[in-house]
Structure 1
């Protein structure tokens, strides 16, 4: 039976929404002392786990989300996505000042609402490269993480609207994905420019393009009839009228409860009170790559020396918790337009170019998104003063060598995190950044883009040292924090191939923190796969 749901009429949608509100109000007013499963976090992985468990009417599921509702225009209207950054729907984390980015604090946006990042991101669906998934299988020792296995999951979860590809794309899954078939002329010209510099064109950035060393395409987006299709809306909302699923918003999980080395439940702040609820089967952490290690460390799982500084009793010494932080640093070139953009300009990413900064690479190590605004840091804005009538080739380093860390600053759950992102700290990343900036210029100067370029507004011609300084000032990130509780078999690994926390029973992690390395492209779609895999594992373990 297809897993997707038909688009309901306005009247039936209203009736269903009323039923959901009434059901969830009843369930919240009569919270139980225990549930079979407690899922912490409603993001791109947690929502999937919830759906797969709640499909069994005999399983009682509790979903705890620290943020609030997603049923607001800023979330649902794709064109308003940028208004969520820095709002109450953003955790508002910042990296520590770093000399590698000229002493700047880089914002680290994370979704704090139903749907997590999938409710505030730019809605790009990017599966990750074949070599990513095969690497994960090698690191975990489990072939079920390989590309061949994951490809079957992708076919199952997608309802894809684009060029037919029955070998790689799905037709009846819960996630609606459409290819951006109608491009703004500037975005179309960027794809022509990509081809002009030798990068092949594909029908989609997923499918066969993620089996190649480079490629360019219009993007795949999770937008249907002008509305965002977040993972929460696609997976959880359609089953929120069921009596076995309780969804609490404004519920901040502060501690995991243990009996010895067995997770038994959670403590959380809700409606001004501290509450404890037990899990008969498992607790699943889906709080993201910053908050998952934070909760683990607050609860006594992490590096014993670090936790000992704050008097936190040690439950399990796992030195990899909070280490291996990865993200996609970004920087770009801004070009002056000869005249204002044509109508139809959008803040969405309609096109993307994946490439390699060195020949011989089997996996792309950069992506370039054309942005129809002058996109730069405040520091470079002040230095170069690009005209509002400008646009950007925004590049991201897909496989940085730099590694960051997440640390506690105290034992109180409300104590802030100290996040050392360490962008560009590895010299190889700066070397790659210089090569990528050169490729951006090559693309920007092609004949295909001549109608859209009068001059390069920034950085223009700079010597190597000045260009490095520009990159350090320009460096931001694409909000793809991952890898801080990585899956693997070495001393720094936090979970095994089944996503179970080493040394702890009944505790599993399902979010981007388990990735051994950040994927090639946006991380939402890989997190959906993580949620699907976790759901499969749990159902098998408990014969559900």
Structure 2
């Protein structure tokens, strides 16, 4: 039963929403309502095997756990972009990559988010089972582990050997500040199970009487009154209705969060007016200037007889602005229904300069928006990615005994995206910033956005660990300030 009112309504049950709901409902005098558009689970045991299994990414065509969006990567490259649509969000269906943002990444964030300031929160969310010491947590809910070199897939071992032979340094801990190089990927996995924020944070507290989690519910508008968010309009199994709220947190992801703001009249006034939406609050930065990691897939063939994979990505090579990912299986094996038969090595541009925007559908702004990436519009991005593809081909050719000689086909590769979209509601204090340093929407009371939307730019590593840290820190900071039931 969805209540008519909650002290805090959280829109979106992805990674950040799960962490926020668990943290804010820790106060028994505060009622918290978490709304998830996709399927919700009433317990950890109800989570299906394909979501638990870290060797499988259940994001292929017709997956019940995802939503698709039209994407335009470049002017002549179209794509379908898939995001998690299930309690736990994309963090419930991803590759269990849990690498922190680097210290330099936080240079674009407000001063209260420096690496030194956020390190305690990185430690608080994890239990690192491999690396002891002050950089890592030992009592957090998310397990972090690495596949030892001796247990890696033959491709991963051969890639590490080839990288070190090419002069790249071995790195024992990719979650530590320090030099670039090749090393094992920190993964949020335990005994083959992908342990995302739903299993780690929310499932253990679902029996709290002050917490309600509702699945199959879409938020259609944030209700405003006098410059303040006072509720959320929803559409669900019982039809449309309005939930009143003491405070609203939008955590619907870097696509849906800016879309919901714009549908609520919050965003670039000129664009909203053109779409027939009454502009209530002009925030030009909503949906604009996002960043993401372009990823070029270099195909090849395994030699026959290699063992099957257990984790899709066990090791990576980091250079100044590239990440090379030797996936241990063809996506056809790891992503059911994807149909990608050849294995690939992913070449990722980690510090892109090109920026994109969210484009609402003029026919119906409620429909899935177009993600206009504008990849490689900056010539420096194209040059860096081309250099990375040449490096990838050289390293693959050196993985003797694993990759079939002559099978590496850099020219037959394709441009894709790492699905790390960030910055559609970025934080800051300039005229295009959408939220302040603590994720409160600028110029509006009672409303925050907390997810990768608020990152000033995509981190140079995958964003999941940083998103969890963000939600944990915001919840801890806001715990005493948000409304309570009197």
Take 2:62 and 2:289, find their aligned partners in 1: how far apart are those partners?
25
Task: Classify the secondary structure of the residue corresponding to 2:39.
Answer: coil
> Hey, what does 1:537 align to over in structure 2?
477
Are positions 1:246 and 2:202 aligned together? Answer: no
Task: Classify the secondary structure of the residue corresponding to 1:109.
Answer: strand
Are positions 1:483 and 2:423 aligned together? Answer: yes
Take 2:107 and 2:96, find their aligned partners in 1: how far apart are those partners?
25
Take 1:414 and 1:212, find their aligned partners in 2: how far apart are those partners?
45
- Alignment equivalent of 1:174, drawn from 138, 141, 145: 141
> Hey, what does 2:355 align to over in structure 1?
403
- Alignment equivalent of 2:165, drawn from 196, 212, 216: 196
1:265-285 deviation digits (Å, cap 9, x = unpaired): 1001011400111112x1001
1:21-56 deviation digits (Å, cap 9, x = unpaired): xxxxxxx2xx33211100011111111111111111
For these two proteins, the number of residue pairs brought into alignment is: 471
Are positions 1:314 and 2:279 aligned together? Answer: yes
1:303-343 deviation digits (Å, cap 9, x = unpaired): 111000122111110110000121111113233333332x2
> Hey, what does 1:108 align to over in structure 2?
81
Task: Give me the CA root mean square deviation.
Answer: 2.1
Are positions 1:256 and 2:222 aligned together? Answer: yes
Task: Classify the secondary structure of the residue corresponding to 1:336.
Answer: coil
Task: Classify the secondary structure of the residue corresponding to 1:56.
Answer: coil
Are positions 1:154 and 2:154 aligned together? Answer: no
| Post-superposition offset of 1:394 | 1.2
Contiguous gaps of at least 5 residues in structure 2:
42-46, 333-338
> Hey, what does 1:354 align to over in structure 2?
318
> Hey, what does 1:366 align to over in structure 2?
322
> Hey, what does 1:18 align to over in structure 2?
none
Matches within 5 A, 1:82-101: 82-84=58-60, 86-96=62-72, 98-99=74-75
> Hey, what does 2:188 align to over in structure 1?
222
Take 1:236 and 1:454, find their aligned partners in 2: how far apart are those partners?
45
Task: Classify the secondary structure of the residue corresponding to 1:480.
Answer: coil
| Post-superposition offset of 1:412 | 5.0
1:71-99 deviation digits (Å, cap 9, x = unpaired): 11221122222455651211111213742
Take 2:455 and 2:61, find their aligned partners in 1: how far apart are those partners?
24
Q: CA 1:43–1:493 in 2, change beyond 3 Å: closer, same or farther?
A: same
> Hey, what does 1:54 align to over in structure 2?
25
Are positions 1:119 and 2:92 aligned together? Answer: yes
TM-score (norm 1): 0.82
Are positions 1:437 and 2:389 aligned together? Answer: yes
- Alignment equivalent of 1:68, drawn from 39, 43, 47: 39
The question of whether the paired residues in 2 share the 8 Å contact of 1:375 and 1:394 is answered with: no
> Hey, what does 2:445 align to over in structure 1?
505
Take 1:97 and 1:370, find their aligned partners in 2: how far apart are those partners?
22
- Alignment equivalent of 2:404, drawn from 454, 476, 484: 454
1:422-445 deviation digits (Å, cap 9, x = unpaired): 122222111111111121123223
| Post-superposition offset of 1:410 | 4.1
Take 1:92 and 1:424, find their aligned partners in 2: how far apart are those partners?
23
Take 2:325 and 2:314, find their aligned partners in 1: how far apart are those partners?
8
TM-score (norm 2): 0.92
Take 1:67 and 1:110, find their aligned partners in 2: how far apart are those partners?
11
